[in-house]
Chain A
Amino acid sequence: MFGIESLGGNAQAAVLVGAVLVEALVLYVGYGWLERRFGPVIKRVLQGRCAVLDMLLRRCSSTNDGGAK
């Protein structure tokens, strides 16, 4: 399916393990960016300082209590 079935044993193994490693690194960087971008807002929601609806409506900043009850 991924076009690597035609490769020999060691080459196929290296490509498969390499693909998993690359995906892991890409996900680490990607989710890291998401965490930095949205982490503070999500943290405020989890702390109960901002309502979920306010977060979705982007009324929840990290500098005010935006809708905190």
Chain B
Amino acid sequence: MMEVLGMSVTLLVTFVGFGVLIGILFGFFGMGGSFLVTPALLVMGYKTDVAVASGLAFVFGTSVIATLKHRDLGQVDYKLGVLMIAGTTAGIEVGKLGLEYLQHIGVADTVVSIAYVLLLGGIGAFVTREALKGDDGGGIDHDAADADVDDAEIPEIAQKIQSYRIPPMMSLKGGFKASLWMILLVAFATGLLSGFLGVGGGFIRMPALFYLIGVPVPVAVGTDLFEIVFSGGIGSFLYAQSGAVDLSIVLPLLAGSAAGARVGATATSLVNEDDIKVYFGVMLVLGAVAVAVRKIGGVVELPVLDTVSLLIILGAALLVSGAVSLSAIRELREADRDRSVAADV
């Protein structure tokens, strides 16, 4: 059989297709890379260090592309991104200390597994419930990045956090101000969880930016991706020092995800904010189920549950990225129809 980059054409096409799928989710939600790629590579038989390192390098490359696309759409707040990086880095270090302590007393695996599943499922359920509660069937928020946000659109907790006017106050995209200290505190808290769980943390940061700081969803996604460029880059570099990054995995995945990330990022400016939250929540809840199944498989030593877990996560990814794409096409058609009606009047 013909080989390219030392792998069969079938495998190459599979990687490119898988990349497209992850790219859509990554560009749309600002999360999902390590969540999807690493378990898939493990099930495909790659060694753990290669799966983790190549997954990280892939996340780095995809985040570069998705961030550039979000920048084109005016959906990246660099100032907020830099503050988030500073706060998150400090939080990760403290979170790692907590993890080391748990490892020392021998309960790390159990506590982290349970906390991870509860957090994924909890955030997913919360975001979905809030989005369904607030769904007024309203129009598309295409200009969320540029327009001043109405107070009613800012979640209550974020309004409370914005009300603490401890100087210096920072002006953020969306036309509102928040205290530098409150931003650093939120960043520190998300970093703490991320370091404690040993995960990238996109699924914690994106909702934190929206629900705690009040950043419009498309900007939350773009800014989260900007942060992942740095965390992914540093993580890849550290793993690459031991030669664990396999370019024959990363390059085809990236070729696919580069196209998907453009679609996903564009979709954030088309799809209704509440719909984005519903898709995000559903993805997290299904992700929590998949992680729980994998962990149970590890405890009862039933490797087939690893495959079941991967199938759940792949099914969820396929379902959600399909729903995102269809939703974007529907909004595109509606906007076109509205323009035609307006032109006729």
Residues of chain A with a CB closer than 8 A to B247's CB: 1-2, 16, 19-20
Q: How far is the CB of A51 from chain B (nearest CB, A)?
A: 15
User: Which of B61-69, B130-138, B144-152, B165-173 touches A?
Assistant: B61-69
Chain B: interface residue count, which band?
20 to 34
Residues of chain B with a CB closer than 8 A to A14's CB: 237
Q: Which of A2, A10, A17, A27 contacts B254 (CB 8 A)?
A: A27
The CA-CA distance from A14 to B243 in the complex, in Å, is 11
A28-B333 contact, Cβ under 8 Å, with A16-B57, A17-B236? no
Q: How far is the CB of A2 from chain B (nearest CB, A)?
A: 6
A20-B236 contact, Cβ under 8 Å, with A13-B241, A28-B64? yes
Q: Which of A5, A27, A46 contacts B258 (CB 8 A)?
A: A27
The CA-CA distance from A24 to B332 in the complex, in Å, is 28
Within 8 A of A (CB), among B1-58: 5-6, 57-58
The CA-CA distance from A2 to B240 in the complex, in Å, is 14
A54 at the A/B interface (Cβ < 8 Å)?
A: no
Interface of chain B, helix or strand or loop or mixed?
helix
CB of B259 within 8 A of CB of A31, answer yes
Residues of chain B with a CB closer than 8 A to A23's CB: 61, 251, 254-255
B74 at the A/B interface (Cβ < 8 Å)?
A: no
CB of B258 within 8 A of CB of A17, answer no
Residues of chain B with a CB closer than 8 A to A35's CB: 262
Within 8 A of B (CB), among A1-49: 1-2, 5, 9-10, 12-14, 16-17, 19-21, 23-25, 27-28, 31-32, 35, 43, 46-49
CB of A17 within 8 A of CB of B240, answer yes
Q: How far is the CB of A53 from chain B (nearest CB, A)?
A: 18
B329 at the A/B interface (Cβ < 8 Å)?
A: yes
Which residue on B lies nearest to A45, using beta carbons?
B329
Residues of chain A with a CB closer than 8 A to B65's CB: 24, 27-28
CB of B240 within 8 A of CB of A24, answer no
Q: How far is the CB of B33 from chain A (nearest CB, A)?
A: 13
CB of A46 within 8 A of CB of B333, answer yes
Within 8 A of A (CB), among B218-263: 233, 236-238, 240-243, 245, 247-248, 250-251, 254-255, 258-259, 262
The CA-CA distance from A13 to B247 in the complex, in Å, is 12
CB of B245 within 8 A of CB of A16, answer yes
The CA-CA distance from A16 to B249 in the complex, in Å, is 12
Chain A: interface residue count, which band?
20 to 34
B336 at the A/B interface (Cβ < 8 Å)?
A: yes
CB of A46 within 8 A of CB of B329, answer yes
CB of B242 within 8 A of CB of A24, answer no
CB of A12 within 8 A of CB of B336, answer no
The CA-CA distance from A41 to B68 in the complex, in Å, is 23
Q: How far is the CB of B301 from chain A (nearest CB, A)?
A: 35
CB of B248 within 8 A of CB of A1, answer yes
B211 at the A/B interface (Cβ < 8 Å)?
A: no
CB of B255 within 8 A of CB of A27, answer yes
The CA-CA distance from A50 to B257 in the complex, in Å, is 27
18 A-B pairs whose Cβ atoms sit less than 8 Å apart in the complex: A1-B5, A1-B6, A9-B243, A12-B240, A16-B236, A16-B247, A17-B236, A20-B245, A20-B254, A21-B60, A21-B233, A23-B254, A23-B255, A24-B62, A31-B259, A32-B262, A46-B332, A48-B333
Known: A16-B240, A20-B61, A23-B254. 9 other contacts (CB 8 A): A12-B240, A13-B237, A17-B60, A28-B64, A31-B258, A31-B262, A46-B332, A48-B333, A49-B336
